Structure 1
């Protein structure tokens, strides 16, 4: 069995459900990660607000739902000691320029690739725009190196550099 990859697009909107009781808490709204690409947790959409859930509380990520431990602690973002980087919300990285450590523009970030069970970001899906997507397709850029995140761009070391 090989490594099973998921994209953020695959998990966004999935219900977050207690593994023991079946209670639905909300749906996945965003992915929160550290600068080195390690997933810290998920942002869960409740009825009127978003709350952070640590990745350690996630038991399984299925095709149709994310199963969590009963009694998992949801936190307000302001309570977090480590400030996460968000993918789509809170001035997230989606839509930012992706640069290689050699200074080449790799496109604009469209999605991220995650290892099985959401352990770490292992790649990015980049776009050069609508027409390039149609004629050439989107690029998949693999990385296992830490990233640098700024307000303007994401800097990565590609595996083929």
Structure 2
């Protein structure tokens, strides 16, 4: 398997195909993140057309994440929400992290979480993609914060130490870089 860095927004809507049946069993609707290990824990799958049944597949039960689809090991690995083991305190849905403010220790606004980068082979979160608004993103580019153990994703705001603030990857793309204005 080729290890690839993906954005969570890319896999939302991906069909989930089970290896044992060869059939599409549903589509990814959301992702659960383990806040302690900073890894993707499970995918929330919408199964069905008219009656939307929600199933969960733990990240360990995913065979591979390819371009445009996710392959699960077995259909039996798609479990009901009730059977999903784990404390709800340690898991957050991605939509509970997207949009959070990222501020420095001194209280300065750095940006808002727009997306989350992860490795497709183990679900390890690599970084947070920040936005400062559509126009600023077009002109200045985006910022990416590498995620380490010091970043707390469970609080209402994400607080960055001055040390972490220096690790931000700035100006990824944008007209400033393209026009070489910096």
Give the TM-score taking structure 2 as reference length.
0.75
Q: Deviations over 1:32-66 (max 9, x none)?
A: 11113121111111231432211111010000210
Query: Does the 8 Å CA contact 1:109/1:127 hold for their aligned counterparts?
Result: yes
Aligned to 1:10: 10
Higher helix share: 2
Task: Give ranges in structure 1 of 5+ residues lacking alignment.
Answer: none
> 1:111 pairs with 109, 115, 118, which one?
115
Give the TM-score taking structure 1 as reference length.
0.83
Aligned to 1:99: 103
Tell me by how many angstroms 1:3 deviates: 5.3
Name the CA distance, whole Å, in 2 between partners of 1:102 and 1:52: 40
Name the CA distance, whole Å, in 2 between partners of 1:17 and 1:123: 27
Aligned to 2:46: 45
Q: Deviations over 1:90-116 (max 9, x none)?
A: xx1111112356755331110000013
Runs of 4+ aligned structure 1 residues displaced above 3 Å come to 77-80, 99-105, 155-159
User: Aligned residues, how many?
Assistant: 157
> 1:81 pairs with 81, 86, 110, which one?
86
Cα root mean square deviation, aligned: 2.5
Task: Give ranges in structure 2 of 5+ residues lacking alignment.
Answer: 169-182
Query: Does the 8 Å CA contact 1:17/1:68 hold for their aligned counterparts?
Result: yes
Q: Deviations over 1:130-151 (max 9, x none)?
A: 2211211221111222532346
Name the CA distance, whole Å, in 1 between partners of 2:153 and 2:42: 18
Would the alpha carbon gap of residues 132 and 77 (structure 1) be closer, same or farther in structure 2, given more than 3 Å must change?
farther
Which protein is bigger by CA-based radius of gyration? 2
